[in-house]
């Protein structure tokens, strides 16, 4: 039996109003053959988690430019764990200082992509590190 297609949710947590990068990566995921759910702007961590569970996604990519990454990304991870969906992999991207990455990874964020990372590299990371959930 063939493995099912990866389902990826792309989310924009917080008050960040810029979503060009999120739309570009969502398109790259779609072009790579993934099923993509884009939540749109100004989503709370609770809304992102609810959508991830409802859509039965395998991973969530969070795009953040506002500087609230140290609060919002771990909050999404925390709520996923509380809801029994901690096996959904979380990765982030955007304007995130290198010094903040170890703390995010310690909070359960699998990977962090900084400005200049190619869409090809992000797609390859997902292909190599995310498997369809049971």
pLDDT of residue 63: 96
pLDDT of residue 2: 59
Judge whether 99 lies within some domain: yes
Q: What are phi and psi of 122, to 5 degrees?
A: -70, -45
Half-sphere exposure at residue 131, Cβ-oriented, CA atoms within 13 angstroms: 3
pLDDT of residue 39: 95
In this structure, what token pair is assigned to residue 64? 């953040």
pLDDT along the chain (134 residues), means of 10: 85 92 97 97 97 98 95 98 98 96 98 97 98 90
pTM: 0.96
Residue 25's CATH number: 3.40.50.280
List the domain range (segments joined by +) for residue 99.
7-129
Judge whether 134 lies within some domain: no
Count structural domains, the chain.
1
């Amino acid at each position: 039996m063939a493995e099912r297609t990866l389902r990826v949710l792309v989310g924009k947590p917080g008050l960040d109003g810029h979503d060009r990068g999120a739309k570009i990566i969502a398109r790259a995921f779609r072009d790579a053959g993934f099923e993509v759910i884009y939540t749109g702007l100004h989503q709370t961590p609770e809304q992102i988690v609810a959508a991830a569970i409802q859509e039965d996604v395998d991973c969530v990519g969070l795009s953040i430019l506002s500087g609230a990454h140290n609060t919002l990304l771990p909050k999404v991870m925390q709520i996923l764990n509380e809801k029994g969906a901690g096996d959904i992999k979380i990765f982030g991207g955007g304007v995130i200082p290198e010094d903040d990455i170890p703390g995010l990874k310690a909070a359960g964020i699998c990977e962090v992509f900084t400005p200049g990372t190619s869409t090809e590299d992000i797609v390859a990371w997902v292909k190599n590190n995310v498997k369809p959930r049971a």
